[in-house]
Amino acid sequence: MSAHPHRTVLRGGTVIDGTGAPGRRADLAIVGDRVGAIGEVPARDGDTVVDCRDRLVMPGFVDAHAHADGAVFRPDVQLALLRQGVTTVVGGQDGVSYAPGDGVWATRYFAAINGVHPTFAGGGVAELLRTYDGTTPLNVGYLVPAGTVRHEVMGMDPGRADAAQLARMQQLVRNGLAAGALGLSTGLDYVPGIFADTAELTALCAPVAVAGALYVTHMRGGYEANTAAGLREVVEICGGGDVHPGVRGHVSHLHVDAADAERLLAEATAAGADLTFDMYPYTRGCTLVAMAVLPPEYSALDVDDAVARLSDAAERARLRADWFPTVAGKPSLGPEWPSMIRIGHTPAPEWEWACGMTLAEIARRRGDTVEDATLDLLVAGRLAVNAVMAVRDERPVDNLARLFAHAGHTGGSDGIYIGEVPHPRGWGTFARFLGTYVGRAFSWEEAAVHLAARPAARFGLSGRGILRPGAAADVAIIDPRTVTDAATYEDPRALAVGIDDVFVNGARVLADGALTDVSAGRGLRRSGSPAALALEDPARGSDDTTSHDLR
């Protein structure tokens, strides 16, 4: 019987460790769920050996913004992410997700964004994180969603929170952070987040500041021309005023021209804000159709009430006469809005034919007006309809590359996995970063920092995002000659190529491009949180590489 524990040896590859140091030809040994050694690893009986010659051995990527909260249990989504080298996704985004609470409201409101969680039956962040332990091949971190918190306390009340309500919301945030949440998220164009003023958001960040966690925000105002105003509010919230001593901030899915973004981020830094951001390598976005084409008050309605109003002949006449002309006046849409909104998902079986078509195409096929076709689509789908949003001008690769090279950038897909014809970013973001932007925005070594080390450090995932002895063995093996995305707007589910072998917590979850059916993923608890500290294994010792929680 061998005196040594079993090892998996990744032999002969170029190890890019995530520190920014030059890649080096080396073996990497995995023992249990940790990196055991990097360098020359002599062979011994019983080793499992993976030939990595001509390939890169990199830390698994951290998707800093993903809507995989419920979809991560689906094999097709697991394969889509692992084929991009993603080993960890951060959920709870945009201020809306399942916990805290019973998950019913969030599931209904974000039905076309997050979908349904198959096992969460209600509770807090601790209960939700446990649903990811050993049930999926991917790790899942979670942000306390401020909109869900507000809904738990105030429902859809658009008013200002009173002192008692604010105290209850702060306690829910505090509870979530204690359970291991990575920070607090807001979605200030969604309800009920849109009702929260700057003072309320600053107050909710007080427990985040105390915990040393992160404030993550879908800013108010829809980005692009409104980015400056959105960032000013972020700076104010992060500054804390008399409420807290300051909190680190992170801007979700930044959308703005590179030159403007560089200037605005520099101004925010000069004002004292400690900011990072995530951004995906596509110009088109994806959103709820109702959010794009209906009056804002509809977002605050119960689904049954909204459907009833949209079915009323008088209300439809009012919308046609008074509202839809204002849709044509939106800077992000304009008069051509029917051709800019392409349906990705509807739950209505009788409308499945419409997926992949624009609203203009749908109206022509029905021989109807665009306004009536749109309202009929929303009623049939009970508002759970999403769409890929076209833009007038696709941003050039070099413009995007300027921002990807920024020292505050992290990779985030904003992947939405609900829909028959989804946005390709969920299937292609990280492979596109590698295949298109290595050599333009960053080197391979810098790519490991942007896509793994920086987000892991920023979100409080100590011991992940880097490869060193004692670190969690989340590893992607990449062919630098072939890695690229294959998903397009016409074929959005095409799997990326060039990444065929991935390890999560030391287990091989992707082998030769296929799932191994090993569920080695975990719900990740923020380093330093009481929940994370309770999960530490005292037998691991107290040296620098293993003294922190590495789950």
Here the CATH number for the domain that contains residue 72 is 3.20.20
| pLDDT for res 542 | 30
pLDDT (average), residues 445-454: 98
Answer yes or no: do 277 and 300 share one domain. Answer: no
Cβ neighbours around 215 below 10 Å, total: 25
**411 touches 62 (CB < 8 A):** yes
pLDDT (average), residues 86-115: 97
pTM confidence score:
0.95
pLDDT (average), residues 119-129: 98
Q: Which amino acid appears at position 192 of this protein?
A: P
pLDDT (average), residues 432-443: 98
Name the pairing type of β-strands 499-504 and 475-478: antiparallel
Q: Is the pLDDT of residue 545 over 50?
A: no
> What's the rounded Cα separation, in Å, for the pair 77 and 73?
8
Task: State the pLDDT confidence band at 155, using cuts at 50, 70 and 90.
Answer: very high
Inside any domain, residue 413: yes
Answer yes or no: do 440 and 350 share one domain. Answer: no
Answer yes or no: do 495 and 411 share one domain. Answer: yes
Answer yes or no: do 412 and 277 share one domain. Answer: yes
Q: What is the pLDDT of residues 30-68, one digit of tens each?
A: 999 999 999 999 999 999 999 999 999 999 999 999 999
> End-to-end alpha-carbon separation of the chain, Å?
30
| pLDDT for res 2 | 56
pLDDT (average), residues 193-210: 98
Inside any domain, residue 97: yes
Residue 438's nearest CA partner among 491, 498, 393, 511 is 498
Answer yes or no: do 307 and 366 share one domain. Answer: yes
Inside any domain, residue 210: no
Q: Is the pLDDT of residue 180 over 50?
A: yes
Q: What percent of the chain has pLDDT over 90?
A: 90
| pLDDT for res 539 | 38
Q: What is the pLDDT of residues 279-294, one digit of tens each?
A: 999 999 999 999 999 9
* Domain limits for position 334: 287-389
Answer yes or no: do 130 and 277 share one domain. Answer: yes
Inside any domain, residue 518: yes
Answer yes or no: do 104 and 81 share one domain. Answer: yes
Answer yes or no: do 148 and 278 share one domain. Answer: yes
Q: Which residue has the higher pLDDT, 128 or 331?
A: 128
Answer yes or no: do 332 and 436 share one domain. Answer: no
| pLDDT for res 528 | 83
Q: Which of 332, 360, 389 is the last residue of a domain?
A: 389
Answer yes or no: do 402 and 529 share one domain. Answer: yes
| pLDDT for res 508 | 98
Inside any domain, residue 216: no
> What's the rounded Cα separation, in Å, for the pair 499 and 479?
6
Task: State the pLDDT confidence band at 549, using cuts at 50, 70 and 90.
Answer: very low
Out of 4-8, 379-383, 468-472, 493-497, which region has the weakest mean confidence (pLDDT)? Answer: 4-8
Answer yes or no: do 398 and 512 share one domain. Answer: yes
| pLDDT for res 395 | 87
Q: Which of 389, 419, 438 is the last residue of a domain?
A: 389
pLDDT (average), residues 224-253: 96
Q: Is the pLDDT of residue 229 over 60?
A: yes
Out of 68-77, 392-401, 462-471, which region has the weakest mean confidence (pLDDT)? Answer: 392-401
pLDDT (average), residues 456-485: 98
Domains identified in the chain, total number: 2
| pLDDT for res 473 | 98
| pLDDT for res 547 | 29
| pLDDT for res 184 | 99
Inside any domain, residue 188: no
Residue 222's nearest CA partner among 256, 249, 192, 246 is 256
Residue 333's nearest CA partner among 225, 473, 411, 487 is 225
| pLDDT for res 296 | 87
| pLDDT for res 5 | 87
**212 touches 245 (CB < 8 A):** no
Task: State the pLDDT confidence band at 535, using cuts at 50, 70 and 90.
Answer: low
Mean pLDDT of the chain: 94
Helix or strand or coil: residue 200?
helix
Inside any domain, residue 239: no
What Å distances lie between residue 270 and 102, 252, 512, CA to CA?
42, 20, 48
> Residue 162, CB half-sphere, CA atoms under 13 Å: how many?
2
Q: Which of 336, 360, 389 is the last residue of a domain?
A: 389
| pLDDT for res 538 | 36
pLDDT (average), residues 319-338: 90
Answer yes or no: do 292 and 411 share one domain. Answer: no
Beta-bridged to residue 58, according to DSSP, are: 476
Cβ neighbours around 398 below 10 Å, total: 10
| pLDDT for res 334 | 84
Name the pairing type of β-strands 514-515 and 507-511: antiparallel
Inside any domain, residue 358: yes
| pLDDT for res 71 | 98
**16 touches 23 (CB < 8 A):** yes
| pLDDT for res 534 | 80
Measured CA angle at 439 (ends 436, 440), to 5 deg: 70
pLDDT (average), residues 296-302: 88
Q: Which residue has the higher pLDDT, 342 or 3?
A: 342
> What's the rounded Cα separation, in Å, for the pair 449 and 462?
14
pLDDT (average), residues 489-509: 98
Name the pairing type of β-strands 415-416 and 66-67: parallel
